[in-house]
Structure 1
Amino acid sequence: MLHNNWAPVVAGLILCGILIVFTLGKSPVFRIDRAGASIIGAIALIGFGVLSFDDAVRSVDYKTIVILFSMMIVVANLKLAGFFELLGNIVLEKVSTKKGLLLSIIIASGVMSAIAINDIVCLLFTPVVLMICHKSQCNPIPHLIGLATASNIGSAATLLGNPQNILIASLSGLSFFSYFYVAGPIAVFGLAATYVIISIIYKGELQGAISRTIHVEESSFHMYLIRKSLLIMLCILIAYMIGYELVLVVSFGAAFLLITRRVNPNKVYTSVDFNLLVIFIGLFVIVGGVEHSGLMDYLMELLPSREINNVSVFALLTIILSNIVSNVPAVLLLKFFIPPVDSDNWWKALALFSTFAGNLTITGSIANLIVVEMAKRQSVVVSAKDYFKVGFPLTLITMILSILWLVFLI
């Protein structure tokens, strides 16, 4: 093991290197992505003796990993059944105007992101939105921004909506209803604000009707599998609401869906985002090493406790850190600043702030990057400026509302 004086320095240097890769999305020198950086950082901390292998294993919150993996299995079954394409067809049948299309996309992505992981919702919805916009000759940019921002806001409503909320649920032990009671109303208001802001900023592009002759390309919908997957998701939500442990009900639901004669299991596993799971495991070890080295104790001493107990300062710190290193690393670092008194409300604040902060910039959340990168492959460019025009006022409104609502409840 390293000498105590050197451990914080080594841990700090490794953490800085990891944060640079997470900020840029890749190494500026080598071909290393976020998953690779997580692996390298974790192994470096063990190799330099900042923490032992056993300590590294104990640093991993396996409940969070199991919850994420199980949710991916459930959503993968919906994807294979054609649920998201079916939802696109329903949207086209019900809407007749471009504004109506925008509203439908915001509602659909917001609601789905509240009960599934928003990154996966964006991954599956983006091609459908692009196809609809292409066939209806709509400018796809406002609709894609609506998809990204609404998925972030909708995911804030529950502890199942995004990776950082799943992590917070595991770390804090918050109940479904106690969090939903706080976050649900703000998320609904946020979705309404998303529609109003985009409608104002892209007023010209959203005028007029869409063609009623267009159709989403024919897909084979497996209604039995759709019903089965939705029923399992509903059972997971109900079991979680009445008090069963999330990791148990989600893993049981995923296991049940794997008992089938209709679906090739390899197709399910192909839809699992193993990169995200690797990132989580690596980050757990890295943050565990930083904590074990004493670096967090040193940083805590630099910040007066009265500032940490100020919800506005906490919100600002969360916005800055979430947009520098992304939501999940920000939560792993900010968990050390949760005051021991009235900690449940501070965990709720962290879940809300870290999620809404993701709407500020195009790199603020993985969901944003998924939408932008997938659109780019089809020659649709959503620029940072396009996104910021919507993201800045939306983040400002939702963060102010969150602060006022939390202060009122506390």
Structure 2
Amino acid sequence: MTTTILAIFALVYLGMILGGLPFLQLDRTGVALLGAIALISLDAVSLQDAVAAVHLPTVILLFSFMVVSAQMRLGGFYSWATRGMANLPVSPPWLLGLLILMSGALSAVFSNDIVCLAVAPILAEACIRRQLNPVPFLLGLACAANIGSAATLIGNPQNILIGQTLQLSFAGYLQQAMLPVLLGLAACWAIICWQSRGNWQSSAPLPATPQLRSSDEQALDRWQSLKGLAVAAALLGLFLFSPLPHEQLALTGAGLLLMSRKLHSARMLGLVDWEVLVLFAGLFVVNHALQGTGLPATAVAWLAAQGVQLSEPWTLFGATFVLSNIISNVPAVMLLLPVASHELAGSMLALVSTMAGNLLIVGSIANILVVDAAARHGIQIDWRRHARVGIPVTLATLLICAAIFALRL
């Protein structure tokens, strides 16, 4: 049975690397789900053990903040904030700076993927109207959303997983992450400004001003937006100062928002990213099965005998960066969590896995969402154009993180 489990694990993580499996219409979520189904069907994992393997607090917290983000999107807050920022009479470098601050701050609370999904179409349309080259701004949005999401334990799925699994202090992590995130946002702004100097207006003809889809822009509903902001602010306050379990608090907040006289629950739940939740569940089951074979512990012991201590901070730093760009950050974090024993391991995993997502387009769902939104507006951002920004931003932010961790160690 160990051979069967190892084969299924290898196929699932091959799917994480390739984004699917050859000859099958499966994405990463489909591969993870199929792997969990295969393990249960072959009795490699019992149904009871599979259910127990899913870390419910992580899934509940992730789901709850998806509901909060859905409230903000349906209330038109993201569209209103983006359009207001884009219409300010400031120079392009200052506009980029405001965009980076806004997207970084929003991503720290409402998830980088949701922010990019909501902001990118409005931003592309606003840049075209102002006859600005939209590419630096769209790349700034993607990079800043990834960097900003590292500021808290609710900014992205991998941070939620790390915080819940390692029982990290919300306030303690915020203190550790704030400086590298702020410096990272500043570095992102400086790099894009330096690359775009003299080229803020596009040399090529811009596409015609597009008609936004109804799903791209929502009219501002002040009451619904205020409800979402109030719940988010209350949750942040409770996370900082209350000992109550975060998942219970967040679920309560989501329940309050679902009790609406105007926004139907079907619309709210329709904006929940169920695929991410299924991806988590599938990977939990697959990783649990592998852990049960004892092979990961044997591999870690073998590496230690060769002088490679994965629990050592700098080895963990490098392994997180490499794995995050091979199999994506959530699967990488799941693999490395069992060796995260150092007192700084949790913050290192969260910061490095998130910053690494800027390297290439496929390194983060947020990058893909921005590139897809640009393509719908006739703006082409290929992997080379993204890499021109993504690689130096990633190296700069990781260098900042490394310097700060070196001082703390």
Partners of 2:291 and 2:329 in 1: CA distance: 19
SS at match of 2:309: helix
What's 2:313 paired with? 311
Give the 5 Å matches for 1:85-164.
85-164=79-158
What's 1:381 paired with? 380
Give the 5 Å matches for 1:12-27.
12-27=6-21
| 1:115/1:158 contact within 8 Å kept | yes
| 2:80/2:219 contact within 8 Å kept | no
Partners of 2:97 and 2:403 in 1: CA distance: 26
SS at match of 2:321: helix
What's 1:328 paired with? 330
Partners of 2:282 and 2:316 in 1: CA distance: 26
Partners of 1:108 and 1:379 in 2: CA distance: 25
How many aligned positions are there?
Answer: 396
Partners of 2:218 and 2:266 in 1: CA distance: 20
SS at match of 1:348: helix
Partners of 2:211 and 2:26 in 1: CA distance: 38
State the AA in 1 paired with 2:369. Answer: I
| 1:157/1:187 contact within 8 Å kept | yes
Give the 5 Å matches for 1:271-290.
271-290=271-290
What's 1:263 paired with? 263
State the AA in 2 paired with 1:290. Answer: L
What's 2:206 paired with? none
State the AA in 1 paired with 2:351. Answer: L
Partners of 1:167 and 1:310 in 2: CA distance: 21
What's 2:397 paired with? 398
What's 1:211 paired with? none
State the AA in 1 paired with 2:274. Answer: F
Deviation of 1:378 after TM superposition, in Å, equals 2.7
List alignment gaps of at least 5 residues for structure 1: 209-213
Q: Work out whether 1:54 is the aligned partner of 2:48.
A: yes
State the AA in 1 paired with 2:388. Answer: K
| RMSD over aligned Cα atoms | 1.9
What's 1:350 paired with? 349
Q: Any idea what the Cα deviations from partners look like across 1:126-156, whole Å, max 9, x if unmatched?
A: 1111111121122221111111110110001
State the AA in 2 paired with 1:333. Answer: L
Deviation of 1:306 after TM superposition, in Å, equals 5.5
Partners of 1:26 and 1:130 in 2: CA distance: 29
Partners of 1:283 and 1:251 in 2: CA distance: 23
What's 1:337 paired with? 339
Partners of 2:248 and 2:173 in 1: CA distance: 19
What's 2:368 paired with? 369
| 1:122/1:147 contact within 8 Å kept | yes
SS at match of 2:123: helix
SS at match of 1:363: helix
State the AA in 2 paired with 1:364. Answer: G
Identify the range of structure 1 (276-285 vs 11-20) with the bigger mean alpha-carbon deviation. 11-20
Q: Compared with structure 1, are the counterparts of its residues 215 and 93 closer, same or farther at alpha carbon in structure 2 (3 Å cutoff)? A: farther
| 1:199/1:206 contact within 8 Å kept | no
Deviation of 1:309 after TM superposition, in Å, equals 4.1
Deviation of 1:275 after TM superposition, in Å, equals 0.8
SS at match of 1:160: coil
Q: Compared with structure 1, are the counterparts of its residues 59 and 352 closer, same or farther at alpha carbon in structure 2 (3 Å cutoff)? A: same
Structure 1: 4+ residue segments shifted above 3 A: 214-219
Partners of 1:71 and 1:286 in 2: CA distance: 25
TM-score (norm 1): 0.92
Partners of 1:306 and 1:27 in 2: CA distance: 31
Partners of 2:125 and 2:295 in 1: CA distance: 49
Partners of 2:287 and 2:372 in 1: CA distance: 29
Q: Any idea what the Cα deviations from partners look like across 1:134-187, whole Å, max 9, x if unmatched?
A: 211222211111111101100011101000000011101111111011100110
List alignment gaps of at least 5 residues for structure 2: 203-208
Partners of 2:38 and 2:343 in 1: CA distance: 34
State the AA in 1 paired with 2:290. Answer: V
| 1:59/1:284 contact within 8 Å kept | yes
SS at match of 1:54: helix
Q: Any idea what the Cα deviations from partners look like across 1:307-349, whole Å, max 9, x if unmatched?
A: 324422221111110011111100000112223xxx3311111
Partners of 2:111 and 2:235 in 1: CA distance: 14
What's 1:67 paired with? 61
SS at match of 2:60: helix
SS at match of 2:361: coil
What's 2:247 paired with? 247
Partners of 2:211 and 2:407 in 1: CA distance: 46
Deviation of 1:93 after TM superposition, in Å, equals 3.5
TM-score (norm 2): 0.92
SS at match of 1:308: coil
